[in-house]
Amino acid sequence: MVYIVGAGPGAEDLITLRGLRLLRSADLVIYAGSLVNPEILKETKEGCRILNSARMTLEQVIHEMEDAEKKGLVTVRLHTGDPCIYGAIREQMDWMRQRNIPYEICPGVSSFCGAAASLEMEYTLPEVSQSVVITRMAGRTLVPERESIRSFAAHRATMVIFLSAGMLKELTSELLAGGYGPETPAAIVYKATWPEEKIIRCDLKDLERLAKEEGITKTALIVVGDAAAQTGYLRSRLYAPEFETEFRKASSGGDGDEKEQKTQQIGE
Ligand code: SAH
Across the chain, mean pLDDT equals: 92
Instruction: Give Cβ neighbours of residue 168 (< 8 Å, ≥ 6 apart).
Output: 207, 208, 211, 212, 222
Protein residue whose Cα sits closest to atom 13 of ligand 1: 163
Q: Is the pLDDT of residue 219 over 90?
A: yes
**H-state helical runs in the chain:** 17-25, 58-70, 89-98, 111-119, 149-153, 168-178, 207-213, 256-263
Q: What's the pLDDT band for 111 if we cut at 50, 70, 90? A: very high
Distance of CA 65 from the midpoint of ligand 1 (Å):
24
pLDDT at 252: 65
Query: Which tens digits make up the pLDDT trace of 21-60?
Result: 999 999 999 999 989 999 999 999 999 999 999 999 999 9
Distance of CA 73 from the midpoint of ligand 1 (Å):
29
The arithmetic mean of pLDDT across residues 197-208, rounded, is 97
Chain mean position to CA 225: 16
Of residues 234 and 182, more confidence is placed in 182
Protein residue whose Cα sits closest to atom 9 of ligand 1: 163
Protein residue whose Cα sits closest to atom 14 of ligand 1: 219
Q: Is the pLDDT of residue 97 over 70?
A: yes
Q: For the whole model, what pTM was predicted?
A: 0.91
pLDDT at 186: 97
Q: What's the pLDDT band for 140 if we cut at 50, 70, 90? A: confident
